[in-house]
Structure 1
Amino acid sequence: MDDLTGFQRDLLYVIADADQPSGQDIKNEIDIYYSAEINHGRLYPNLDSLVNKELVEKGELDRRTNYYALTDAGDEAIQKRREWESQYIDL
């Protein structure tokens, strides 16, 4: 997880909390946290990067809509990050 941007980590957390969210579902949720709206030109390349790193899998809900889900490696990366964070802050 040390090679991810903060935005990519945030995307992992959003995906982890949902059941196969679409890109639009992820965008809607991430827009709540970020003060500026996230455009598709930022969102989808970062999602593709997470897929390429095998932290997220991408599937098809229908012909127009993809879903995203954490892989085991993505879940493990989040757990390791939380363990590392807990050394510095009391969760």
Structure 2
Amino acid sequence: MSPECATDCQTLATLTAFQRDLLRTLAKTDEQSGLSLKTDLTTYYGEAINHSRLYQNLDELVRHGLINKRQRDGRTNSYSLTDAAQTALAKRDAWIRGETA
């Protein structure tokens, strides 16, 4: 495993379940708005997702270098996975399946 991947995979391992669920939700499509993510997670959890919880966790994932954030317009941001996040998620999936990297 490359040093970059080891770092990315370690970062993924330290995330909360909610943060990993955000990454998995983003992995379904190329780019999503915060509202779209909130809707998807509300459906999955079966309860309302607090606005503050959502955006604090998105900002944390941006700081970790796992998601990109770009401004669509004056009010809306779009979020997408970074290459590091895609690699880390693939490595985690392989680990869960019992495969070695």
1:48-59 equivalent positions in 2, closer than 5 A: 48-59=59-70
SS in 2 for 1:80: helix
1:7-86 equivalent positions in 2, closer than 5 A: 7-86=18-97
TM-score, normalised via structure 1 length = 0.92
CA drift of 1:15 comes to 0.7
CA drift of 1:18 comes to 1.7
CA drift of 1:87 comes to 1.7
Percent of aligned positions with the same letter in both sequences? Answer: 47
Q: Which runs of 5+ in 2 are unaligned?
A: 1-11
Q: Larger Cα Rg: Structure 1 or Structure 2? A: 2
Q: How far apart in 1 are the matches of 2:80 and 2:98?
A: 28
Q: Which structure carries more helix by proportion?
A: 2
CA drift of 1:53 comes to 0.2
Q: Which runs of 5+ in 1 are unaligned?
A: none
Runs ≥4 residues deviating over 3 A? none
What is the count of residue pairs matched by the alignment?
88
SS in 1 for 2:70: strand
CA drift of 1:36 comes to 1.9
